[in-house]
Chains A and B, each alone.
Chain A
Amino acid sequence: MTAPSLPVRRGPTGPSLRQRIGKATPYLLLAPGILWLLVFFILPTFQMFLTSVSTGSLDNGFKLTWSGAAYVTSLTKFGTQFENSLIYGGTATLLTFAIGFPVAYTIAFRGGRWKNFLLFIVIAPFFTSFLIRTISWKVLLLDNGPVLSFLRDVLHIIPADASVIGTPIAVIAGITYNFLPFMILPLYVALEKIDPRLIEAANDLYASRWGAFRRVTIPLALPGIFAGSILTFIPALGDYVNAILLGSPQTQMIGNVIQSRFLLLGDYPVAAALSFILMAAILVAVSIYARALGTEQLTG
C-alpha cells in the first residue's frame, strides 16, 4: 500500500517552495491558454456584442445606443440565408459522415501497415489552399467539365441541359469535400482506440456482426462521431467560400451575408448581430446534440 517515497525536506514553516510550485503547476500550464482566449476571443466577442447594439454608419461612426434594431433586422430579413446555411451545413455534415465513417473504419480496423499512408492521403488535400481546391471543384462541376460530360455524354443519365454549378448541389458538394478530413480524423481516432477483443466478446455473447457493430462499435465511437460532426457542422454553417465560388445569389448562406455586411456594406451592427445569432444557434444546437448522443450512450 505504502509505496516507498523519496524523503521530502520540509522547512519549519510548512510546505517548501518546491511543493508550492508543484501545486501551482496545473494553473501555470493553463495560464498561456487562458490569456490567449482572453485577449483573442473574449475581448473581441465583447467588442462585437457592443457593436451589435450600436447604431450609426461607417461614415458617421457608430455610437453605443443599446439598440436592438440590428437584431430585429437580422432575424426578419435573412430567413432564407439562415435556412440555406442550416440545410447545406446539415446535409454536408450527414454526407461527410456517410462517406467518412466507412473510410475511418476501414483504416482503423483493416489498415494494417498502410494506416499511416492512408491517413496521409486523407489529409493530403490540406497541402493545397482551401481556395484552390474549391476553384478546382468549380472546374470539375462546370457544364462542360469532366463530371457532367461523363454523366451526360457517356452514361446518358442526365438531360442535355443539366447544370450543377450555381445550385445547392454544388455548394453542398464543395462543403462536403472541404470538411471531409475533419470528419474522418476524429472518427478514426475513436475507432482506432476500440479494442478488437471487445468485438470478439460481443460475438462470444451471441451478438452477430451487425449486433456487435451496433452495441459496441457505434457506442464506443460516439465521442468521435460527436467531435467529427461538430468540427464539420459548425464551420460549414458559417462558410461562405463554397457558396461564393460554387453557388449563385440564390444559394447564399448566412456567412455570405455577414461577410458582405462587414466588408462590402460596412453595416457593422447587423453583421455583429448576425454573428451573435449564429453563435447562439450553434450553442443551442450543439447542446441538444450532445444531450441526444449522451442519452443514447446511456441507454445503448
Chain B
Amino acid sequence: MSEIDVRLVDVVKRFGDSNAVDHITLDVNDGEFFSLLGPSGCGKTTTLRMIGGFEQPTSGLIELQGQDVTWLPSYKRNVNTVFQSYALFPHLTIEENVAFGLRRKGVKDAEVKSRVTDMLRLVELPGFEKRKPNQISGGQAQRVALARALINRPAVLLLDEPLGALDLKLRKQMQVELKRIQREVGITFIYVTHDQEEAMTMSDRIAVMNRGKYEQLGDPESLYERPQTRFVASFLGVSNLLAGTVDGTADGYALIKLADDTRLRVPVALVDGNAQIEVGIRPEKVRMNTPTDAIPAAANQLEGTVTDVAYVGVSTQYIVDSKSGIPMTVYEQNIERTTTGSLYRQGDAVRLSWLPEHTFVVGGAPAATPAG
C-alpha cells in the first residue's frame, strides 16, 4: 500500500480555447483531508471531476493508489463523490440510495442491510430508511449523500462544496461532523470549497487555486502566516500589503523603504535576494497606539489617521489611512474595551506598530524597474 493516494501529474483540461485546469501537479496523502480552495471558476470542480472520472484530462496523468486511472471510467474507480447538488436519486428511498453502490458491486443482501443501518447511524439519520429524498431537509440530504458515498469504503472521497447549500449554523455543525466522520473512517478526503474559513478549519493541507493553477500548497497555518503570493495573502483572510524597495540591512533585518520614505524591518531571510517586494501584515497583528505611546524599538511603525471604525463584537475593526497613502486594516480585540472605554474615533491620529517577525513578504521582483 502506497503512502500517496491520489497523484496528478501535469494535468491540463482545456475547454474551447482556455485551460480550466492548467498544468497541475500534486500528491494527496493517504488519510489526508485535502482541500482545493479558490474563487468561482478557478477549476476546482473540473479538477475533482477528472479525479472522479467524469471528465478526461486533455493531457497529463492521474494515479489512484499508484495505478494509472487517467482513462478508467468512473464506475471502475475506487473513488466516490459527494456532489455539490447531492444528486440523490429521487425515485429511490433513502435506504435504496445509500445501498446503491453496494448493490451494484453485488454485495449480499444481509450485509447491505446491516451496512446501510450502520451508515445511517453514523450520519445520525436512523429511521429515515423509507423516506424519499424530497421528504428530507437540505442538511439531511447532505448527510444521505455522504452516507451513500462512504458506505462503499472508497480509497478516496471527493466532496464538491457539499455544504454550499446550507445556512451558516448548519454548515458549522456539518463541518464538525464531517471532520469527525473523516477521522472515524480514515478515508482520504478531497474537499472543494471557496470558503476560506471552512478550508482552514477542516483541512490538513490546502491547495489555493487561481485560474486553473494552485498558487500555494500547504497546511492552513503556513498558508496564513507565510502566504507567498499576493493572491493567497488576500484570498486567505485579510492582509495589509505595503510595496517597497529593499534598502540595506540592520541587526539581521532588511530595511524596506516605502513610497513616503518610511522604513520597515523584515527578517532578511524573507526578502530572498529580491529588490522589489511587498511587505504583508495581518490586521490582528497590528497594534493601535496614540502618537505619544511608547513603542518597542524593534517594532515597525506607521503613522496615520483613523477613517473608519466598525464594532463587530469580539473585535473592533479600524481602517487607518497611513502616511504612505495605503489604507491599513487593523483588528483590535475588545478585551479592554469595557474597562478603559477609551476607543479610537474617526479622525484620530494614531501610530500603528507590529513586530518584524510577524510580517510576510510577497511579490518579490529581482530587478528594480526605475519609476517613471
**Contact (Cβ within 8 A) B104 A198:** no
Chain A nearest CB, measured from B94 CB (Å)? 14
Interface flags, A198-218, vs B, CB<8A=1, else 0? 101111111110010001100
Q: Which of A200, A206, A208 contacts B83 (CB 8 A)?
A: A200
Chain A nearest CB, measured from B89 CB (Å)? 6
B71 at the interface (CB under 8 A from A): no
**Contact (Cβ within 8 A) B100 A200:** no
**Contact (Cβ within 8 A) A201 B75:** no
- Please, how many residues of chain B have a CB less than 8 angstroms from a CB on the other chain? 25
B108 at the interface (CB under 8 A from A): no
Chain A nearest CB, measured from B190 CB (Å)? 14
**Contact (Cβ within 8 A) B100 A300:** no
Interface flags, B86-108, vs A, CB<8A=1, else 0? 01111110000000110011000
**Contact (Cβ within 8 A) B73 A205:** no
Residues of B within 8 A of A206 (CB): 75-76, 101, 104-105, 152
- Please, how many residues of chain A have a CB less than 8 angstroms from a CB on the other chain? 20
Distance between Cα atoms of A206 and B83 in the complex (Å): 15
Given known A197-B85, A200-B54, A200-B74, contact A205–B91 (CB-CB < 8 A): no
A220 at the interface (CB under 8 A from B): yes
Which chain B residues numbered 98 to 139 have a C-beta less than 8 Å away from chain A? 100-101, 104-105
**Contact (Cβ within 8 A) B75 A197:** no
Distance between Cα atoms of A68 and B101 in the complex (Å): 59
Distance between Cα atoms of A198 and B133 in the complex (Å): 13
Q: Which among A202, A204, A219 has the highest number of chain B CB atoms within 10 Å?
A: A204
Given known A195-B85, A197-B85, A208-B75, contact A203–B91 (CB-CB < 8 A): no
**Contact (Cβ within 8 A) B89 A216:** yes
**Contact (Cβ within 8 A) A201 B83:** yes
**Contact (Cβ within 8 A) A197 B87:** yes
Return the chain B residue nearest A197 by Cβ: B87
**Contact (Cβ within 8 A) B148 A205:** yes
A297 at the interface (CB under 8 A from B): yes
B56 at the interface (CB under 8 A from A): no
B70 at the interface (CB under 8 A from A): no
Closest 6 CB pairs of A and B: A205-B101, A206-B104, A201-B87, A197-B87, A203-B74, A219-B91
Query: What are 10 sample pairs from A and B whose C-beta atoms fall under 8 A apart?
Result: A195-B87, A200-B54, A202-B100, A203-B74, A204-B54, A204-B75, A205-B80, A206-B76, A206-B104, A220-B91
- What residues of chain B have their CB less than 8 Å away from a CB belonging to chain A? 52-54, 73-76, 79-81, 83, 85, 87-92, 100-101, 104-105, 148-149, 152
- What residues of chain A have their CB less than 8 Å away from a CB belonging to chain B? 195, 197-198, 200-208, 211, 215-216, 219-220, 222, 297, 300
